[in-house]
């Protein structure tokens, strides 16, 4: 699976090469790689595969309204 990220040197969205999954200190997932055109490092924060923020908010609202 190729991941797109914004290259700040080319000023365009590019498919990153040598992509590697990583996790930041705060627990958010990221993908790091290189721009295929200029070789600059590119970085993208990706949505986690667990429950999304919207689903969590919906659950919290449901709990508040029932209590």
Question: In the prediction, which pLDDT does 58 show?
Answer: 65
The 29-34 sheet, strands edge to edge: 17-23, 29-34, 41-45
pLDDT band at 32 (very low <50, low <70, confident <90, very high): very high
Contacts of 36 by beta carbon, 8 Å cutoff, 6+ apart: 14, 15, 16, 17
Mean of per-residue pLDDT scores for the chain: 81
Across the range 27-43, mean pLDDT stands at 92
CA distance 49 to 6: 22
pLDDT tens figures, 38-60: 999 999 998 866 545 566 566 66
The residue ranges of every structural domain in the chain are 4-66
38 CB neighbour count, 10 Å cutoff: 12
Element (H, E) at 51: none
């Amino acid at each position: 699976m190729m991941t797109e990220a914004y290259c700040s040197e080319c000023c365009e969205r590019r498919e990153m090469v040598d992509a590697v999954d990583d996790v930041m200190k705060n627990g958010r997932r990221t993908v790091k790689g290189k721009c295929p055109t200029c070789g600059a490092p590119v970085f993208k924060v990706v949505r986690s595969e667990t429950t999304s923020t919207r689903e969590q908010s919906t659950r919290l609202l449901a709990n508040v309204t029932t209590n």
